[in-house]
């Protein structure tokens, strides 16, 4: 990897980084569901272990996180795991680790994810600080991913170097959404209240225990990460936890002498102890230091406007069916998509994709997804194809049948008294 500036430091590699090299055929022994050959252990935590594995059919490397159902139940983390699955399903971004599918047995849940061959970013920084240009490159990729999450109502809440991986092209991948929150969890006062995160990366407003803005605490953590990439050490550190929290609360830190003026200014705004005046994502994107060499991540329309394999796997190992309905209309495509957006907004849902005559809607913590595509049939007629997935909703609770379809029924083209719909 280019531009790592080596200094005297301990360079103990993590299990994930050490095992991130290509494995030989003999390393894969356990066969999972006849679909994956499981190999080396990459890392482990209190509730999960992550293994390097290989898709039997494509021979592509994947990472499989195994979670014990018993530990989840005993720890009361069932809701957290379900939320993590729901969140990862909806995230499709070049700098976020992708969830391929979820499998389950009576005792374990298996997250089959994208394999990041480069290992943890933490392991690279522990060998020496990065140059300013390389720090900027990874920070740009991080902000791109975080902005994408926030636009979809997802707040990571545990951004740190250990949760940033590198792929085979040395590009950044955000992982571990186990502590993430969604906008539905925001209380009537407009804030989140769950105390979580890693001590060295925690924002000062979390320490106050008065509620916090999920977007603002993620931005604080991004500031800590940027500081470490450039400096090689944490801005707030102390062997005594309470002493470290006092430093964080005061927000007093010093940039190393090699830090440029532009980077110092940005770090000061990122690590502003007042969340109301702390820099926003939009302001970060307009910052001169950040803008240098910045390349916009191209939107992946194929991902935004289609369901992969026409179905997704749910947390119990089953299939969530994607239903398709079509109707013919004489209305302009713009009016049809506008009506869908109006209904979605009235129900507190998000527009997560829009491209001319196509729109994608998500809601209910990712349990409802609707994609509508409109194509010209004749000079006067268009055909509207609606794909939708509703998890855990019976006919009487179907958002499509109860909310969307009644509002669109007036657009159905009628011929000889018949509604043209299938």
Residue 343 CA to residue 388 CA, distance in Å, equals 15
Answer yes or no: 158 catalytic.
Answer: yes
Cα-only R_g, the chain:
23
- Sequence-distant contacts of 103-108: CB under 8 A, at least 24 apart: 103/32, 103/33, 103/35, 103/313, 103/317, 104/69, 104/315, 104/316, 104/317, 105/317, 106/69, 107/68, 107/69, 107/70, 108/66, 108/67, 108/68, 108/69
What DSSP string runs through 132-169?
Answer: HHHHHHHHHHHHHHHHHHHHTTEE-S---GGGEEE-TT
Counting Cα atoms < 13 Å in the Cβ hemisphere of 191 gives 16
Residue 207 CA to residue 245 CA, distance in Å, equals 8
List 27, 55, 133, 158, catalytic entry: 158
Residue 289 CA to residue 98 CA, distance in Å, equals 29
The tokens for 39 are 């190999």
Please tell me whether 65 is known to bind a ligand: yes
The tokens for 60 are 């592509």
Residue 230 CA to residue 125 CA, distance in Å, equals 9
φ and ψ at residue 176, rounded to 5 degrees: 60, 85
The tokens for 157 are 């809440």
Among 218, 132, 231, 114, residue whose Cα is nearest residue 173: 114
Residue 153 CA to residue 258 CA, distance in Å, equals 37
Catalytic residues: 158
- Binding site per annotation, positions for ATP: 65
């Amino acid at each position: 990897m280019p531009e790592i500036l080596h200094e005297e430091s301990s360079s103990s590699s993590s299990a994930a980084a050490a095992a991130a090299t290509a494995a030989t055929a003999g390393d894969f022994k356990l066969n999972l569901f006849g679909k994956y050959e499981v190999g080396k252990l990459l890392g482990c935590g209190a509730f999960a272990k992550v293994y390097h594995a290989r898709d039997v059919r494509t021979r592509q490397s994947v990472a499989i996180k195994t979670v014990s159902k018993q530990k989840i139940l005993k720890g009361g983390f069932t809701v957290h795991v379900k939320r993590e699955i729901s969140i990862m399903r909806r995230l499709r971004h070049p700098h976020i680790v992708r969830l391929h599918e979820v499998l389950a047995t009576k005792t374990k849940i298996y997250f089959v994810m994208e394999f990041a061959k480069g290992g943890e970013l933490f392991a690279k920084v522990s060998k020496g600080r990065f140059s300013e240009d390389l720090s900027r490159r990874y920070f740009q990729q991080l902000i791109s991913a975080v902005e994408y999450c926030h636009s979809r109502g997802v707040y990571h809440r545990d951004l740190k170097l250990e949760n940033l991986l590198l792929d085979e092209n040395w590009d950044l991948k955000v992982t571990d959404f186990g502590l993430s929150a969604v906008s539905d969890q925001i209380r009537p006062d407009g804030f989140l209240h769950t105390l979580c995160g890693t001590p060295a990366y925690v924002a000062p407003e979390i320490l106050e225990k008065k509620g916090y803005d999920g977007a603002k605490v993620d931005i604080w953590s991004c500031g800590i990460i940027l500081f470490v990439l450039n400096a090689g050490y944490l801005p707030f550190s102390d062997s005594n936890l309470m002493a470290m929290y006092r430093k964080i609360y005061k927000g007093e830190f010093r940039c190393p002498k090699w830090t440029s003026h532009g980077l110092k200014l940005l770090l000061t705004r990122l690590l502003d102890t007042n969340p109301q005046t702390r820099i926003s994502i939009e302001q970060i994107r307009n910052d001169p230091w950040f803008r240098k060499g910045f390349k916009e991540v191209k939107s992946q329309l194929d991902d935004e406007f289609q369901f992969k394999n026409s179905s997704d796997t749910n947390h119990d190992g089953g299939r969530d069916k994607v239903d398709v309905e079509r109707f013919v209309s004489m209305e302009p495509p713009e009016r049809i998509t506008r009506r869908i957006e109006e209904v979605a907004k009235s129900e507190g849902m998000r527009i997560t994709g829009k491209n001319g005559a196509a729109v994608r809607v998500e809601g209910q913590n990712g349990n409802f997804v609707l994609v509508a595509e409109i194509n010209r049939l004749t000079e006067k007629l268009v055909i509207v194809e609606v794909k939708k997935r509703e998890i855990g909703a019976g006919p009487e609770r179907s958002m499509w049948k109860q909310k969307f379809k009644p509002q669109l029924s007036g657009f159905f083209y009628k011929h000889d008294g018949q509604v043209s719909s299938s």
